[in-house]
């Protein structure tokens, strides 16, 4: 099997086409039963136990329990294997006191209202946590509002699976949330994971499958996104109006459709995109008006972009931006510049391009002549956006062929890498390995 075919098979497997692997390998961890726990049998009042000042932990026995419930004091709600908390209208578990915890149980959220942001769990206090919880059928999954030092760890959230993705609720939403941890969660078939007006958070080792926005940052600064697997959605990570964001060692695959992109950046600055695998996406990286402020940077280093329709798209000319030591291979188009601009102001160095036609006579791994990208079809579509409809058609392919044959039609260079690598750093296996 060729490397290209192998890469496609592995990428599709990573994108969750083999769903059995997803279900078998990513079960959330179950937190241990708390000490001095008051056990609640199905049908008994949970709220009365939670409100008792002498109770430190409430444990749900196996079976079906009824919500909603509120944690208005520092108490733990834990569920034994086989315990399910059902809710009607409204949020099912509402945590309003610091140090409240929801651990281990299953929450079935049938009956919530979309317009009221009804959630399986809502946290509105500092130092709260949700760990090892399974959420099914909830309009919204876990909502955090105006809280600090929250932990959302090892949960499984299944969205509504409404055929219209935009009509599903958000599986996770952080709003004005600071210094918190979102880690080791498995999220499927919801709308978005939202991080808005939220700074100083770490989002690590999560798996998000089938979302519209796997991660959507807005007005959120100093966040770290590391080791996540974001697959088979429309957009992997989209960053708007945010600064000091690190995207490191993530696998983003099969971001498909006309609006599909692995990473999108708009009006943002000091964005560091390092060591990610962007496989089989419509667009690998989309950059619009970023960096926005003087003195800010965007750095794209050590990533692999393979099997993408387009590796990187710059919406107009780019500046204060470096692209170094990345692998571009098996893409329909390596780089495209919309709006009649170019990418010559970008610092390109040490990248591998599989369409490089130069040579390496001194055998130092660096091409002896620069890599230059010239595309008459991209130049035409950049100057006349209506022609973008013909991307990938024989008509534009013939335009590029004519430009190669006749120097009179040679377009201006879109980019130039003065020191291109002649061999990729990433093997097929490395490019598609799970961040876990």
Q: Residue 83: pLDDT above 60?
A: yes
Cβ(245)–Cβ(216) below 8 Å: no
Name the CATH architecture for the domain at 3-34+70-432.
3 Solenoid (2.160)
Report pLDDT for 381. Answer: 56
What does the pLDDT average to over 84-90? 87
Task: Give the residue-averaged pLDDT of 206-230.
Answer: 97
pLDDT of residue 87: 84
Q: What is the pLDDT of residue 430?
A: 62
Give the range with max mean pLDDT: 12-21, 117-126, 173-182, 354-363.
Answer: 173-182
183-201 per-position pLDDT tens digit: 999 999 889 999 999 999 9
pLDDT of the residue at 329:
96
pTM of the model: 0.86
Give the relative orientation of helices 394-405 and 376-383 as an angle to the nearest 10 degrees. 120
Render pLDDT for 40-51 as a digit per residue (tens, 0 to 9).
999 999 999 999
Task: Give the model's pLDDT for residue 24.
Answer: 36
Adjacent-strand bridge partners of 218: 196, 240
Confidence of residue 409 (pLDDT cuts 50, 70, 90): low
CA-nearest of 268, 265, 272, 246 to 324 is 272
Mean pLDDT throughout 241-255?
97
Average pLDDT value for residue range 45-62: 95
Q: pLDDT value at position 117?
A: 79
Over residues 113-126, mean pLDDT: 85
Mean pLDDT of 104-121: 80
pLDDT tens readout for residues 282-314: 999 999 989 988 889 999 999 999 999 999 999
Q: Quick one: pLDDT band at residue 241, thresholds 50, 70, 90?
A: very high
Closest CA to 326 of 223, 196, 431, 240: 431
Greater confidence (435 vs 312) lies with: 312
Q: Is the predicted pLDDT of residue 206 greater than 50, yes or no?
A: yes
The mean pLDDT value for 352-369 works out to 92
The predicted pLDDT at position 292 comes to 84
Look at residue 256 and tell me whether its pLDDT is greater than 70: yes
Query: What is the pLDDT, as a whole number, of residue 345?
Result: 86
Q: How remote is the C-alpha of 72 from its chain's centroid? A: 33
- Across the chain, mean pLDDT equals 85
CA distance 108 to 298: 42
pLDDT at 34 over 90: yes
The 10s digit of each residue's pLDDT in 372-406 is 887 655 655 555 555 555 566 665 555 555 555 55
Spatial separation of the C-alpha atoms in residues 285 and 116, rounded to whole Å: 35
Strand partners, 119: 140
Dihedral sign for Cα 353, 359, 364, 368, please: negative
Bridge-partner residues for 285, per DSSP?
A: 263, 312
Closest CA to 210 of 234, 185, 182, 186: 234
Domain ranges of the chain: 3-34+70-432
Q: Given this model, what pLDDT does residue 343 score?
A: 82
- What pLDDT does residue 168 have? 77
pLDDT value at residue 277: 97
C-beta of residue 277 within 8 angstroms of C-beta of residue 303: yes
Query: What is the structure's pLDDT at 25?
Result: 38
Q: What share of the chain in percent tops pLDDT 70?
A: 78
Check: CB of residue 178 under 8 Å from CB of residue 205. Answer: no
157 pLDDT more than 60: yes
């Amino acid at each position: 099997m060729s490397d290209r075919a192998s890469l496609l098979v592995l990428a599709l497997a990573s994108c969750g086409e083999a769903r059995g692997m997803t279900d078998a390998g990513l079960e959330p961890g179950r937190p241990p039963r708390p000490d001095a726990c008051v056990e609640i049998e199905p049908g008994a009042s949970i709220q009365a136990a939670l409100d008792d000042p002498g109770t430190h932990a409430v444990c749900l026995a196996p079976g079906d329990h009824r919500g909603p419930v509120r944690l208005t004091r520092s108490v733990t709600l834990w569920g034994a294997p086989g315990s399910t908390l059902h809710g009607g209208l409204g949020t099912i578990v509402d945590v309003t006191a610091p140090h409240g915890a929801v651990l281990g149980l299953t929450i079935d959220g049938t009956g919530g209202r979309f317009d009221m942001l009804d959630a399986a769990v809502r946290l509105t206090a500092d130092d709260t946590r949700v760990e090892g919880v399974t959420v099914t059928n909830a309009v919204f999954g876990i909502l955090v509002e105006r809280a600090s030092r929250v932990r959302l760890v090892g949960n499984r959230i299944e969205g509504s699976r409404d055929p219209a993705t935009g009509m599903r609720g958000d599986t996770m939403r952080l709003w004005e949330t600071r210094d918190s941890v979102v880690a080791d969660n498995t999220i499927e078939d919801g709308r978005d994971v939202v991080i808005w007006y939220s700074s100083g958070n770490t989002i690590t080792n999560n798996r998000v499958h089938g979302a519209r926005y796997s991660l959507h940052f807005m007005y959120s600064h100093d966040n770290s996104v590391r080791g996540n697997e974001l697959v088979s959605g429309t957009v992997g990570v989209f960053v708007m109006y945010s600064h000091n964001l690190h995207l490191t060692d993530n696998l983003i695959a099969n971001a498909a459709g006309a609006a599909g992109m692995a990473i999108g950046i708009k009006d943002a600055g000091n964005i560091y995109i390092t060591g990610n695998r962007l496989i089989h996406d419509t667009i690998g990286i989309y950059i619009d008006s970023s960096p926005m402020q003087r003195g800010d940077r965007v750095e794209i280093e050590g990533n692999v972009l393979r099997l993408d329709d387009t590796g990187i798209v710059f919406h107009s000319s780019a500046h204060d931006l470096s692209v170094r030591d990345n692998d571009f291979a098996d893409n329909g188009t390596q780089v495209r510049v919309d709006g009649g601009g170019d990418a010559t102001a970008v610092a390109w160095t040490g990248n591998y391009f599989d369409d490089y036609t130069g040579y390496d006579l001194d055998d130092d791994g660096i091409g002896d002549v620069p890599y230059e990208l010239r595309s008459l079809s991209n130049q035409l579509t950049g100057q006349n956006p209506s022609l973008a409809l013909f991307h990938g058609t024989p008509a534009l392919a013939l335009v590029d062929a004519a430009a190669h044959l006749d120097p009179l039609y040679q377009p201006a260079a879109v980019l130039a890498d003065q020191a291109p690598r002649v061999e990729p750093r990433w093997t097929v296996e490395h490019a598609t390995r799970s961040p876990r």
